[in-house]
Amino acid sequence: MCGICGKINFNLEDNVDPFLIRSMVEIMHHRGPDAKGYLFMSGRSNLSPLVLSKINKDILSTWPADNYSIGLGHCRLSIIDISSGHQPMSNENKTIWIVFNGEIYNYRILRRELIQAGHTFRTNSDTEVILHGYEEYGLKFVDRLSGMFAVAIWDNNLKRLVLARDRFGEKPIYYKITDSYFIFASELKAILKESRIKKEIDPDALYDFFTLQFIPDPHSIVSGIFKLPPGYIGVIENKKIQLSPYWKIGFGNHAGKKDRIPIKTLDNLLTQAVSSMLESEVPLGAFLSGGIDSSIIVAMMSKVYRQKIKTFSIGFKEESYNELIHAREVAKYFNTDHHEFIVDYNIQAILPKIVFYLDEPFADSSAIPTYYLSKLAREYVTVAITGDGSDELLAGYRRYSAKKLLKIIKFIPDTLLKTLDFLLPQKDCYYGKSKAKSIKMLIEYNRSQKIGYVSWQPLFTPEFILELILEAEGKNRGETLNLKSYFEECKSLDPISQMLFVDQKTFLPGDILTKVDRMSMANSLETRIPFLSPPFAEFINSLPLDLKLKGFHKNKFILKKFAAKYLPDEIIKRKKQGFAVPIGTWLKNELKDYTKDILLSKKSKERGIFNDEKIYNLIFEHQNSFNDHGARIWSLGKWGIHTNMPA
């Protein structure tokens, strides 16, 4: 796992500043602490490429007079071919160069094919497989890759830069293009090292954040800086970028008999996915929450991994948020080398650090336990296998069940629903678990669907945003542009499959995979996700809906049937808990004063973005237990910390 970056000056007489590339690499040091590499090339002449392992004053004092208009940088977390897989890496005649972040799980198969096609390999790395694959197949090389990746290839023969991102968006690429240059990096903060970039908020990204709690592709929080969407390839030449999808999420019907549950196929595909992700020259382990997803991954590992599995879990002092007992049961069942950690920390001190690693406003509070879980695992291993991605493939969230229930609710008269809504508890209930609160959420969801909302329980409705954000009049943000276009793209599917499609396009890369990538990389830990192996994911998407959501409440139906082969009943049947944290309690106690200092600070007021009175009322009502505004304040607080941090 690594960090990549680079810059191309379109005017071939303009020199790329070597210290800019160095600073971009240095600020991503956490992504690759083991080695650093740099490439400087001239797009104008036949000047030999300059490859460096470091840049210092001595090198700058002897900097060649000829102009290097192309610069690439790389920081490496060494996993495979530790001794010789250094980057930037070139082909034999040094005309094509690559920087790469990720892992290619089928690289050995591709290597054999390319050797048969006449290519000569100098390393045993998966990086060189991509490089020769590009030479052999051109832009079609990406179709053959199975893995997680962010790739940048400079082709000096064709004078073009090629970017590619994996199918689901496990690895990130940010970029900016102007009339004079193109710049890219694994992290937004690296691009902002370019001093000419204005740090202006993208208003669309601002509204997307408060609608969705994350910023979906292709926007970033900084105006003019974009993310390459998952499953896309970008070609930069002639001062333009051409974006094209090389893979699309497909839904269809399983070819087998409808009355037969294809357990054996699922077993084979998941076993193959896990097996392909166990190759490593450094210690390897697994995250284990005790839920069905991480537990079944550990079960698959126990089938094929020859060593004792190291597993990692964290818990909280608050029992209602603690899953450790379930994780211990699974660890004991599979006889793993189990490690756990109780999160007992100064939350106020850790939040700015987490915001730094996230780069953009991001409201998913589970980033905190993910950070600490990664920190724990990194003490023992360099690679961790995770159970992420299952919910978005197999309808694991309650919003999918709620969507089905709307078929019943739509026959209930509005007057009766309004009466029931009035009689139920009036507190905000975003994280409530009682049946009464669940019913209230369902009623609100029904209402929101009728007027165009797309999320299960929007914390900030368009009406709320109009009150909260200054100068918001005239902004119609009931649905973001991306969501509307994605729903239009899959309109032929049933309503639940539409939700799955849109979640895989937005929530999965924008929330889940962003959280996992940033928090694991903050601790220099590589994570691998078997549920997102393309053959497995494509198979699941091909299945009929009732194998994912049976009836109104049997979520992940086929996975639970399959898990019965490997897991105890109590693990399969326990209710989904999620990676929640006690934010409501923190905001009343540990973060009580900090919340006011951040959201009502002089700097926040000077920005003139929010209605201060509205924010004050939210804080007052929550801290005095009049209403549960925990999730709203948390979202605003993460935004506030982000905008109050030094530029």
232-237 and 50-52 beta bridge pairing: unpaired
Closest CA to 88 of 106, 70, 65: 70
Q: Do residues 34 and 83 touch, judged by C-beta distance below 8 A?
A: no
* b/e code 532-555 from CB counts within 10 Å (16+ = b): bbbebbbbbbebebebbbbeeeeb
Q: Do residues 581 and 366 touch, judged by C-beta distance below 8 A?
A: yes
181-185 and 2-9 beta bridge pairing: antiparallel
Q: Which residue in 2, 5, 75, 429 is the catalytic one?
A: 2
CA dist 198 and 417 (Å) reads 49
Q: What distance separates the 2 farthest-apart alpha carbons in the chain? A: 80
526-528 and 2-9 beta bridge pairing: unpaired
User: What are φ and ψ of residue 621, in 5° steps?
Assistant: -65, -40
**DSSP state for residue 141 in the 8-state scheme:** G
CA dist 198 and 40 (Å) reads 26
Those residues with Cβ within 8 angstroms of residue 294's Cβ, 6 or more apart along the chain or in another chain: 286, 287, 288, 330, 386, 387
Residue type, 644: N
Quick one: how many helices (H) and strands (E) in the chain? 28, 20
CA angle 211, 250, 212 (to 5 degrees): 5
Helix (H, G, I), strand (E, B), or coil: what is residue 167?
coil
Q: How far is CA 507 from the centre of its chain?
A: 9
Question: Is 2 among the residues known to form the active site?
Answer: yes
CA dist 308 and 555 (Å) reads 31
**DSSP state for residue 509 in the 8-state scheme:** I
Burial class, 250, CB count within 10 angstroms (exposed 0-12 / middle 13-18 / buried 19+) = exposed
Burial class, 305, CB count within 10 angstroms (exposed 0-12 / middle 13-18 / buried 19+) = middle
The residues annotated as belonging to the active site are 2
